[in-house]
Chains A and B, each alone.
Chain A
Amino acid sequence: MKLTAAQALVRCLELEQVEVVFGLPGGAMLPVYDALYHSSIKHVLVRHEQGAVHAADGYARATGRVGVCMATSGPGATNLVTGIANAYMDSVPLVIFTGQVPTTQVGTDAFQEVDITGITMPITKHNYLVKDPAALPQIIKNAFHIASTGRPGPVLIDLPKDVAQATIDFYYPEKVRLPGYRPNYQGHPAKINQAAELIRRSERPVIYAGGGIINAGASEELVQLAETISAPVVNTLMGLSSFPGDHPLFLGMLGLHGTRYANLAVTECDLLIALGARFDDRVTGKVAAFAPQAKIIHVDIDPAEIGKNVLVDVPIVGDVKQVLRALLPLLDKTDRSRWLARVQELKEQYPLTYSREGGLKPQYVVEEIYRHTGGEAVVATDVGQHQMWVAQFYRFKRPRSLISSGGLGAMGFGLPAAIGAQLALPGKQVILVTGDGSFQMNIQELATLREQDLPLKIFLLNNYKLGMVRQLQQFYCEGRYMAVDFKFHPDFVLLAKAYGIKGYSVQSEKELQEILPRVFEEPGPVLVDCLISPEENVLPMVPAGRGIDETIA
């Protein structure tokens, strides 16, 4: 079949069963958009390319499928960069298409030319500059495979305009051609035996579960492991929702803003079972003081994560679901009531609390959202204090119900990611909890939200501040608050109205309770501007450079 490469691209996407593409067109992408005109693939027009990549990211996180987005050359491509880095840090499968100037002009500083494959080399799992139009189908086949297998990640394909316009003999290859790419899924049996032995000998095990559980779809196995060996579970931010938030063995998030009982359980444990987690600095604090008494089992699909930050006793490279399936039959149901009693004691001694005095508390808002949704909602967040309050106070029930920027911590992620998630899950209630700093970084996507007519509910925890930075300045700059107060905000309710979105403003518990039922009954999008107590801190908090047992409560 004779097709232009641009038509072939669209055909490949159809064959990959791509349903939605997020993007914004431009000169260099004209051939591709022209080909999309005849396709059944839904194209969601964003207002800024960063919105496209975050939306594709939210779509991918919500479903586990590959998110697809596209942008034109030059500024279109560079506007994607933050979103690509974000997906790379959090191992999100994306395929990103960028237009490029014609090959005859590549390297001449042509209009809207930028070396996007060079720029994104450190923030993509792999990328391609397509020079031979006939190679495009194989490249797309490879890209979807690379993005979605092993440790997932973003793959970028840069397509010069003349290449897109060239005619090729189209066929979609069945196989990938990647001689250097062979992810290892099965853990080494000898190592799995060693792990089982360590678990049997352990008196005080803790399971430290990260985003790898969600990527591998290993939540059931995780619950089985915890229940079989009677081990409490702590989650990383990326791991939240991989273990039921109301399970008695759940200790919440660990690390910098983790619960004290999670951090103390890790400090006291004699065996740390790290599953799909990477010993990030926000988790470990001072490495020497992290799980100091523990032997460590580390299961990860990415061999480079093992031994990177922390030396481990039993390294297992593999897909965490397959490894757990191999491990579980080797373990007997074990009662560790003394250890669990100690953990319960920690829970009671250092509960996660806040004072409801002094205005509307952000933690209260999160708890109320939880109460109204029964933990059934998919919650997207932005980055900052509100994100930590969601991580601490929303109890996630199901995998993929938290959508949050972890590794990169990219403010502005929330709104477009929530749009992507809501598009992916039309029957589900998606909620965005955002802050007044983050929200304004991609606020233009309210137009996309309205245009797509999605039932997204937005809770803006508004303290008229860059609250997390304010908190850092309070602790580390002796309260010299520099550039953290917003002296002007738009009227967010009016702003929502301008976008055709219903808006409410609340500043007390009573007002919040009054409007909540209406918010959730509303079929369309709603924004709730919650004027929260402005100096609320995220606590507990591990001071910089300290061990995670040294928290400020």
Chain B
Amino acid sequence: MRHTLSVLVENNPGVLARVAGLFSRRGYNIDSLAVGRTDNPAISRMTIVVEGDERVLEQVIKQLRKLIEVIKVSDISREEHVDRELVLIKVSAEPEKRGEIMQIADIFRARIVDLGRRTMILECTGNEGKIRAFEESLRPYGIKELVRTGKIAMLRGSRYTNINGTREDE
């Protein structure tokens, strides 16, 4: 079972190493990890996708909370949420194939962000399933390179994971 954790941390040097070190040391598997500053520059948010059963997840969350610089940990995959990844794919695109590739891009609402003599770079955002489908659609043309971000996620509606104690409603 995979879970998406939203982790608010103090924006200090070394905090990423602490979190990453914790996962490797205790043998937890990180599927993906995305870090960025929040609207408060002193605080960063890590979105961590972790694989494991309930017991592993409980330990991961408790161990994360033990880190002094971790302010808040929420398992947001338990609730309604939006999650997104972004992928850049460089695909072989001989002139006669470009039309087909552009149609695929249209279907997935992807954007063409670079056009070389024999390649194109496409940018696509979406949830994991969509990104996977997009990648599969382009595979027959020859994927030269693929770069993707980790997942980022946010609760739906007026619920949010803020730093003032527990999760709040309106």
User: Which A residues are within 8 Å of any B CB, using their own CB?
Assistant: 117-118, 121-122, 125-126, 129, 146, 178-181, 302-304, 307-308
Contacts and interface: CB of A to CB of B under 8 A. Distances in A.
A270 to B, nearest CB: 25
Contact of B14 (A117, A180, A181, A303): A117
Interface of B: 9-10, 13-14, 17-18, 21, 25, 55, 58-59, 62-63, 65-72, 163
Given A179-B10, A307-B58, A308-B59, A121 B68 contact: no
A61 B23 CA distance: 31
B68 A146 contact: yes
A281 to B, nearest CB: 16
Contacts of A307: 55, 58-59
A121 B17 contact: yes
Nearest to A183: B66
Nearest to B22: A122
Contacts of B55: 307
21 contacts: A118-B17, A121-B14, A122-B21, A122-B25, A125-B68, A129-B13, A129-B14, A146-B68, A178-B68, A179-B10, A179-B71, A179-B163, A180-B10, A180-B67, A180-B69, A180-B72, A302-B66, A303-B65, A304-B59, A304-B63, A304-B66
Contacts of B13: 129
Contact of B68 (A122, A180, A304, A308): A180
Nearest to A126: B68
B25 A180 contact: no
A81 to B, nearest CB: 15
Contacts of B18: 121
A146 B67 CA distance: 11
Nearest to B8: A180
Contacts of B71: 179-180
A118 B18 CA distance: 9
A179 B66 CA distance: 12
Contacts of B66: 302, 304
A210 to B, nearest CB: 18
A181 B63 CA distance: 13
A502 B13 CA distance: 52
A159 B17 CA distance: 19
Contacts of A180: 9-10, 67-72
A122 B72 CA distance: 20
A179 B72 CA distance: 9
8 nearest A-B pairs in the assembled complex, by CB-CB distance: A304-B62, A180-B71, A126-B68, A180-B70, A303-B62, A179-B71, A181-B68, A304-B63
Contacts of B63: 304
B132 to A, nearest CB: 34
Contacts of A118: 17
A156 to B, nearest CB: 12
Contacts of B67: 180
Given A178-B68, A180-B70, A304-B59, 19 more contacts: A117-B14, A118-B17, A121-B18, A122-B21, A129-B13, A179-B10, A179-B71, A179-B163, A180-B9, A180-B10, A180-B69, A181-B68, A302-B66, A304-B62, A304-B63, A304-B66, A307-B58, A307-B59, A308-B59
Nearest to B15: A180
A208 B18 CA distance: 33
Contacts of B163: 179
Given A179-B71, A180-B71, A307-B55, A121 B21 contact: yes
Nearest to A129: B14
Contacts of A178: 68
Q: Which of B17, B58, B59, B68 has the most CB of A within 10 A?
A: B68
Contacts of A125: 68
Contacts of A179: 10, 71, 163
A267 to B, nearest CB: 24
Contacts of A122: 21, 25
Contacts of A121: 14, 17-18, 21
Query: Among A125, A180, A308, which residue has the most Cβ atoms of chain B within 10 A?
Result: A180
A232 B62 CA distance: 32
A308 B60 CA distance: 10
A121 B163 CA distance: 25
Contacts of B70: 180
A129 B62 CA distance: 25
Contacts of B17: 118, 121
Contacts of A308: 59
Nearest to B12: A128
A178 B10 CA distance: 9
A306 to B, nearest CB: 8
A191 to B, nearest CB: 16
A129 B17 CA distance: 14
A121 B19 CA distance: 10
Nearest to B64: A304
A374 B20 CA distance: 51
Contacts of A304: 59, 62-63, 65-66
A212 to B, nearest CB: 16
A236 B145 CA distance: 56
A44 B65 CA distance: 36
A135 to B, nearest CB: 11
A178 B21 CA distance: 21
A108 to B, nearest CB: 17
